[in-house]
Every structure is written in C-alpha cells, then in structure tokens.
Amino acid sequence: MSSLPPLKCIAVDDEPLALGLVVSFIQKTPFLELVGRFGSGVEALKYLHEHPGTVELAFLDIQMQELTGLELARVLGHSGPRVIFTTAFSQYALDGYRVDALDYLVKPFNYEEFLRAAGKARAYAELTAQHASAVAANGPEEEEYLFLKADYQLVRVAISDILYVEGLKDYVKVHLKSAPRALLSLMSLKAMEEKLPARRFMRVHRSFIVALDKIEAVRRLTVQIGAVTIPVGDQYKDAFLQFLSRWT
C-alpha cells in the first residue's frame, strides 16, 4: 500500500455527461482527490495558472472548443500536471505520446479501464518520489539508476546497464547491455545528457552519448561499443581527446 497522499486531480471535458462520469470515477478511487472540474480547456488553464504546482494529474478530453486537450497539454509542458487523455478516437494515441501523456482512454470507457490508467499515474508518482529520495540521499552523481518514460510508463533503468544513447529529433534511443531492443523515450539528447553522471558518460557527437566504461576500442575518432561504431564529431573532438589522454 502506498504511503503517498492521494493525487490531486482535475477533470476537463466540454460534454457534461462525459465530465460527470470522469468526476464520479475520480471520487470513488481512494488514491485520487478531485480538486476541480471544468467544462473547457480555457477554464482549466486559468485555474492551473492561478494554482501552480497544486494539481498532479489532469484527465483531459482531446476534442474541445476554443482550446483542445492536446493544445492545453502542450501549453502546460513538462511543468504542468501529468495527463491522461479521454477521447472518442484511438488515433490520437500517438499525439498523446508526443505530449508525454501517461495514458489515454477511448470513450466509452468503464471504471476498470479508468482504474488501470489511474494506476499508471499512481505508479509514476511513487517512482518519482523514490527518485527524489535517491537524489536527496546520494546526490545526482551517485545515483545507480534513472527513470525514463517509455511506452506510457516510467521505466527504471540501471545506469550501469546503459551502453550508449542515440538522439532522434524529439526522442532518444537508450541502448542497454541487458536488452536487445533499445528503449525509446520522448526527450531531447541534451535533457538525457543532464540526467547522466558526467564522470561516467560523454557526448561524443550531436547524436550520441556513450558510456565511457563500455568503450572497447578507439580508431580514428570513432569509438567501438560491441559491434557498433560511433563517430566522434568535430564539436566534441577536443573534450574526447583530452579524456583519451587520461585513459591511455
């Protein structure tokens, strides 16, 4: 049983019946606390700006007049509450992923489906709390794992398991020693670089960060990690050569 207090939630939908259903589901869920219900995205945005940091989870209808749920989520960005979308169209799932939604519910949905999505939000909050505790106890350089958003869930990844990270526009692919498939996560390579301990990882190219202890060979400004050859970009050459001089 989680020791965390209930997650403070809002529900946003311009259809009164749909809004009432989400509100009733929130109210019957022990680990959720309803702090606001809104019939438009504009009303919700005003409330969130007037009460910064107080809302942890938002159930947003995607199709609304004036300001859609997707537009609202983009305006709020990473500083806003976590989002679960409600929609009548399943093709919005990919858009939901692009704005870092925890999950999406396709209307009409029942309480079991709602509870499953809400459970992801609770798990996310619990893992985030664990992560904050680890940072407070050990400091960011001493962490042994990090949390990545992948496939609508927060995944715990051991730092020692990371081989290299590849940047793909708005996403990163995290290649792991223990898994044949890379994890795909919605974040920039710069944001990923900031998460990793600098003494153990180095950015060697605009598209690559490598784990220094996983480098097996260096040839003509390329590094070898397993069967993969990764180039060292001109922008990162000096820092890499300086590291190499200490390594040899």
User: Quick one: angle between helices 16-27 and 111-138, nearest 10?
Assistant: 60
Number of domains the chain is built from: 2
Average pLDDT in the 63-88 region? Answer: 86
In 3D space, the residue among 127, 226, 121, 144 whose CA is nearest the CA of residue 177 turns out to be: 226
Q: Per the domain annotation, does 230 fall within a domain?
A: yes
Beta strand spans in the chain (E): 7-12, 32-38, 57-61, 82-87, 103-106, 145-150, 153-158, 162-168, 171-176, 183-186, 201-205, 208-211, 217-218, 222-225, 228-231
Domain boundary among 105, 132, 159: 132
Statement to judge: residues 150 and 196 lie in one domain: yes
What's 118's domain CATH number?
3.40.50.2300
98 with 128, same domain: the answer is: yes
Distance from the first to the final alpha carbon of the chain = 51
CATH of residue 196: 2.40.50.1020
Confidence of residue 13 (pLDDT cuts 50, 70, 90): very high
Residue of 156, 215, 216 lying closest to 183 (CA atoms): 156
Q: Do both 227 and 177 map to the same domain?
A: yes
Q: Which two tokens stand for residue 146?
A: 């990090």
Residue 227 C-beta-side C-alpha neighbours within 13 Å: 1
In three-state secondary structure terms, 100 is coil
Same domain, 16 and 128: yes
What's the pLDDT band for 102 if we cut at 50, 70, 90? confident
Mean pLDDT of 163-175: 91
Which residues form the domain of 212? 139-247
Question: How many alpha carbons lie under 13 Å from residue 225 in its C-beta half-sphere?
Answer: 21
The reply to whether 2 falls in a domain is: no
pLDDT value for 45: 94
pLDDT digits (tens, 9 = 90+) for 192-210: 998 898 888 999 999 999 9
> What is the pLDDT confidence band of residue 91, given thresholds at 50, 70 and 90?
low
pLDDT for 93:
53
Same domain, 150 and 239: yes
Q: What are the angstrom distances between the C-alpha of 95 and each of 9, 81, 99, 174?
A: 22, 17, 7, 21
29 inside domain: yes
> Above 80 in pLDDT, residue 173?
yes
Examine the domain organization and report whether 17 and 128 are in the same domain.
yes
> Residue 213 falls within a domain, yes or no?
yes
Look at residue 1 and tell me if it is in a domain. no
Domain membership of residue 116 (yes or no) is yes
- Per-residue pLDDT tens over the stretch 109-159: 999 999 999 998 998 888 777 766 665 665 544 458 888 887 767 788 999
Q: Among 132, 166, 201, which residue terminates a domain?
A: 132
Q: What is the pLDDT of residue 134?
A: 61
Specify whether 70 is located in the same domain as 167.
Answer: no
- Position 1 confidence tier, pLDDT thresholds 50, 70, 90: very low
Interstrand relation of 7-12 and 57-61 (parallel, antiparallel or unpaired): parallel
What are 23-70's pLDDT values in tens digits? 999 999 999 999 999 999 999 999 999 998 899 999 999 889 889 888
On whether both 145 and 45 belong to a single domain, the answer is: no
